[in-house]
Amino acid sequence: MNSLRIGLISVSDRAFNGLYQDYNIPTLENWLLKAIITPFEKKTRLVPDEQLIIEQTICELVDEYFCQLILTAGGTGPAKRDVTPDATLAIADREVFGFGEHMRRISLNFVPTAILSRQVGVIRKQSLILNLPGQPKSIRETLEGIRDENGKIVVEGIFSCIPYCIHLLDGPDIETNSAIIKKFVP
């Protein structure tokens, strides 16, 4: 059976250069450990905002480590150094437009500047690659969705569709903790 492999990439010049601690990878790791019941292996990378390095890192995780899911965090805005979406599109076989659209939809519930995000979702070979925001709170909201005051989900997070997408790409079945995120299977 195909084991689940997830690549996590934090993109930040300052964290890469040791000017501050990276919180994106620990946030992703902690959320995934709570949300996914299926055992998984993970590969983590902290890289600077350099398009070629981001491209090489994504390709390494897909082509050499066979990660079925890659989550990047950071570098998705309109600033000159924000090149994560450019790197992601450069190595993509196909784009999955709905992921970027829905990530912005979630973020617009919190900040009007969500319209400046250039987040994308793509497929390379049999891997799904998604660009998440570069802030821990935004990462959790994007993955999990928005809950009302009673804890009921009012806007589904993107992770609800990830298990089915991985399945369609001939990847392993992913079981989730429905208290955190309920996977959607048509």
Copy the structure tokens of residue 168: 């369609």
What are the b/e assignments for 138-175, b being 16+ CB within 10 Å?
Answer: bbbbbbbbbeeeeeeeeebbbbbbbbebbeeeebbebe
pLDDT band at 1 (very low <50, low <70, confident <90, very high): very low
CA–CA separation, 183 vs 106, rounded Å? 17
Tens digit of each residue's pLDDT (9 = 90 or more) over 91-119: 999 999 999 999 999 999 999 999 999 99
Task: Tell me what the mean pLDDT of segment 149-174 comes to.
Answer: 96
Q: Report yes or no: 12 and 48 within 8 Å, Cβ to Cβ.
A: yes
Judge if pTM exceeds 0.75. yes
pLDDT in tens, 109-149: 999 999 999 999 999 999 999 999 999 999 999 999 999 99
**pLDDT band for position 88 (50/70/90)?**
very high
Tell me which H or E stretch contains 167: helix 162-168
Q: What is the mean pLDDT of residues 40-59?
A: 98
In 3-state terms the chain splits into helix, strand, coil percentages (rounded to 5) of 40, 25, 40
Kindly list the structural domains of the chain, giving each domain's residue range(s) and its CATH number in brackets, ordered by start. 4-168 (3.40.980.10)
Pairing relationship of beta strands 40-47 and 4-11 according to DSSP bridges: parallel
Averaged over 171-182, what is the pLDDT?
96
